[in-house]
Structure 1
Amino acid sequence: MSETHTLKKGPIIIIDDDQDDCDLLRHIIDNIAPRSIYRFFANGQLALDYFLQTSEQPFVIFCDINMPVMSGLELSKRISENEYLRQKSIPFIFLTTSRNPGEIRKAYELTVQGYFQKPSTVNTFEELVKSILDYWDRCLHPNSIK
């Protein structure tokens, strides 16, 4: 991708227990939006602890489904049940290898903003991530309006 820009919002949260997938996603985002800030977590519990303790306003959450300790589905559920976290209005995107219809249905019942299967090629993966970041970068956020 030749076009790059700087995201106007906070850190990008990547929750995935596969370090190679985290590294690839970071590389892709660095090509799209250099100087992005990241927070990485290997499971949902670590991410939930961060969300409950931080005053940061994350830009977007990219989350895997199947992880040890706390799954992505459980994390999404816990966020939606917590008034403080719900009011942060953080876009929650599942980015996973799972195509399980039950998991997809459950994800949307939890009102996530997207469920995407990780593409098999880097170019397709980059196009997908760019479209997601562009969309949320253009979206108005209640915490950014003064």
Structure 2
Amino acid sequence: MNKNGEIIIIEDDEDDQEMLEEVFNKLNHPNKRVYFIDGEAALEYLRKPNSHPFIILSDINLPKLDGLKLKEKLQTDAELSLKCIPYLFFSTAVNQQVVIDAYSNSAQGFFIKATSIEELTDSITIIMNYWKKCAAPNNFK
């Protein structure tokens, strides 16, 4: 986990992207945000050797490669798993089976998409504060 790395946001809804960006700007969050509308484009980016993101915020329902399949690929790819990138889901498609599937693939969190800026700001603040304080195996030289 690279605490100064990019925040990868995989979200195909433009309104949700704009709301997330508004929240990060409101919080003056220093990490660069990189947006993808599908899992395949995100996977291609994450496989680049110079890609060392801080965290991934992903929708479940995505075109081309959905969030669950993307998380599975990250978990089973030896090089990508060594990057220790926290993977959190944000979705409106919430039912018990989807949440079980997410955690079965070692997701580090599952959040219901907030419908207001205030709720989303609260969630993003808690998430960023938590992960900034966490240690990861690749934080040690």
The bucket for the TM-score relative to the shorter chain is: over 0.9
Aligned-pair identity in percent equals: 33
TM-score (norm 2): 0.93
Deviation at 1:56, TM superposition (A): 2.5
Aligned mates of 1:137, 1:35 — CA distance in 2: 12
- Secondary structure at 1:53's aligned position in 2? coil
The amino acid across from 1:141 in the alignment is A
**C-alpha distance in 2 between matches for 1:31 and 1:91:** 23
Match of 1:112 in 2: 107
Larger RCO, structures 1/2 (Cα 8 Å, 6+ apart): 2
Q: Residue 55 of structure 1 corresponds to which residue in structure 2?
A: 50
Question: Which residue is 1:83 aligned to?
Answer: 78
Counterpart check, 1:41 vs 2:33: no
Q: Distance in 2 between matches of 1:33 and 1:83?
A: 34
User: Can you list the C-alpha shifts for 1:32-73, whole angstroms capped at 9, x where unaligned?
Assistant: 233430111101010011111242211110000001111000
1:16 Cα deviation (Å)?
0.7
Rounded to whole Å, the distance in 2 between the matches of 1:141 and 1:31 is 28
Supply the AA of the counterpart residue of 2:17: C
Whole-angstrom distance in 2 between the partners of 1:38 and 1:23:
12
Q: Which amino acid aligns with 2:24?
A: I
Residues 9 and 137, structure 1, Cα contact 8 Å, conserved in 2: no
Aligned positions, number: 140
Q: TM-score with structure 1 length normalisation?
A: 0.90
Give the gaps of 5 or more residues in structure 1. Answer: 1-6
Aligned residue type for 2:13: D
Q: What is the root-mean-square deviation of aligned Cα atoms in Å?
A: 1.4
SS for the counterpart of 1:90 is coil
Equivalent in the alignment of 1:145? 140
Displacement of 1:8 in angstroms is 4.5
Distance 1:43 1:56 in 2: 17
Which 5+ residue runs of structure 2 have no aligned equivalent?
none
Provide the rounded CA distance (Å) in 2 between the counterparts of 1:30 and 1:145.
Answer: 30
